[in-house]
């Protein structure tokens, strides 16, 4: 199991590939579709779910330190909604997300997601101009295959992980998972 396996699973998923093609049209700097977009697919495959678990949202992350307004994110969401209104888009410029946690500014999308709550969530994928899938996995992908929900020490709030796991019902949807604090 590896990055290549994840890339193959995404390439075989028509909805995810359509979402990637749609997001690519925005030509955002340092972008990817992240979090549950990748994580849930891996957990679905490992649990042998016959169908994909529905996505609550599709996290579009990008990095643009020249435009830090939340209005820019809303503008991109509206563009995506116009192109694919059946998909639950959520767009966030990672260049401003450090403020929420009182951290030093992030250097890239990869740097930003390396601080996300769970190690398994800190993964994204983009479709380059040559139609090649590229994973963004600053913390690696190994734990995605370990049936764990692991607290990210860089985030520093294990209680947040426990609350997220409970409200998102991860161990109910994927009963083989165990929480690792």
Q: Write down the mean pLDDT value for the chain.
A: 96
3-145 sits in which CATH class?
A: alpha beta
The token pair at 155 is 């985030």
- DSSP code of residue 118: B
**CA–CA separation, 95 vs 6, rounded Å?**
27
Q: What is the pLDDT of residues 51-93, one digit of tens each?
A: 999 999 999 999 999 999 999 999 999 999 999 999 999 999 9
> Other CB atoms closer than 10 Å to residue 50's CB: what's the count?
5
Residue ranges of domains in the chain: 3-145
Would the pTM of this model clear 0.75, i.e. be above it? yes
């Amino acid at each position: 199991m590896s990055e290549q396996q994840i890339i193959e699973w995404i390439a075989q998923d028509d909805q995810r590939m359509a979402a990637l093609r749609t997001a690519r049209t925005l030509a955002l700097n340092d972008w990817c579709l992240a979090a549950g977009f990748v994580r849930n697919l891996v957990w679905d495959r490992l649990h042998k779910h016959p169908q994909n678990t529905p996505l609550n949202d599709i996290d579009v992350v990008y990095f643009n330190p020249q435009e830090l307004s939340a209005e820019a994110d809303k503008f991109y969401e509206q563009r995506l909604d116009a192109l694919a209104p059946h998909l639950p888009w959520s767009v966030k410029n990672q260049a401003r997300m450090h403020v929420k946690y009182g951290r030093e500014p992030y250097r890239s999308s990869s740097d930003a997601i390396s601080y996300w709550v769970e190690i398994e969530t800190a993964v994204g994928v983009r479709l380059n101009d040559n139609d090649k899938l590229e994973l963004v996995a600053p913390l690696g992908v190994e734990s995605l295959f370990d049936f764990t929900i692991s607290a990210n020490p860089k985030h520093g709030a294990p209680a947040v992980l426990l609350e997220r796991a409970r409200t998102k019902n991860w161990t109910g949807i994927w009963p083989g998972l165990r929480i690792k604090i």
